[in-house]
Amino acid sequence: MRATVVVPTYNEIDNIERFLRAVRDAVPGIRVLVVDDSSPDGTGARAEELAAELGDIAVLHRTEKNGLGRAYRAGLRRAIDDGAEVCVQMDADLSHDPEVLPALLAIVEHGADLAIGSRYVPGGRTVDWPPLRRWLSRWGNRYAAGVLGLAINDATAGYRAYRVTVLQAIDFESVKADGYGFQVEMTNRIVGVGAKVVEFPITFQDRTAGVSKMSKSIIGEALFLVLRLWVEDFRGRHERRARGG
């Protein structure tokens, strides 16, 4: 299947080269779409140079930094329009090991609609994260899964491969969340349409270069988002029952 890695970047100048070379080494035939929000550090221009050297890499330059969700919606749209059958989401900061790519792709090729690189299934782990960050991620996941009734251990994971038909089935462009919540909203919709989800254990390595874009407002958005999704799911079920469906 034709696969494209969609990778949003903002100020990843110290990571982008290592990232693109490692992806190319791990899966020589894979396409990459870098979605750069006019990084002031020149990540977009560096990505263009690497694209010319390595081939099969495109760069989508956006004018404004306005969140991971928006960057992904634009990037997934472009990848699909360019013929992708599988879209991989990945961070550029090398927290997601490119060596895992073949496994995620194989899971989708064998029939899954979504393969999640999961920190919270047996064999999965996080390395070098401070205790508070670890706690936040672990409990954020328990909270989201508990409230939404998702049988998913790592619904906030940012390393995933989607079958394009499921992205179309959930109308991914109408997903509203922009920060971390984007991953949760995507997962909730995918579970909602009864798609097949497989979690594959990964080791998540904290970034060693560049700065985090994680913020209190992103965490706040995710907390409220879960409640909004719960209300929407509840209303949806109620309306279906009222219609006798």
Q: Which is nearer to ligand GTP, 78 or 207 (CB)?
A: 207
**186/240 Cα distance (integer angstroms):** 21
Cβ contacts of 159 within 8 Å, gap of 6 or more: 88, 89, 90, 91, 95, 96, 100, 104, 116, 117, 202, 204
Cα-only R_g, the chain = 17
Other beta carbons within 10 Å of 194: 8
Instruction: Report the nearest approach of Mg ion to the CB of residue 78 (Å).
Output: 22
By CB under 6 A, residue 71 contacts ligand GTP = yes
Nearer to Mg ion, 91 or 199 (CB): 91
Contact stretch for ligand GTP (CB under 6 A) within 78-86, 87-95, 115-123, 166-174: 87-95
In the region spanning residues 158 to 197, those forming contacts with ligand GTP, defined by CB under 6 A, are none
- Paired sense of beta strands 86-89 and 160-163, if any: antiparallel
Residue 69 site contact among Mg ion, ligand GTP, none (CB < 5 to 8 Å, cut-off depends on kind):
none
Residue list 91-110, contact with Mg ion (CB under 5 A): 91, 93, 95
The C-alpha angle with vertex 79 and arms to 67 and 25, in degrees rounded to 5, equals 95
- Does 92 bind ligand GTP (CB under 6 A)? Our answer is yes
Tokens of 145: 């899964």
**Could you tell me the two tokens for 224?**
């409220």
Is 137 a residue that touches Mg ion (CB under 5 A)? no
- List contacts with ligand GTP (CB under 6 A): 8-10, 12, 35-37, 65, 67-68, 71, 91-93, 95, 207, 212-214
- List contacts with Mg ion (CB under 5 A): 91, 93, 95
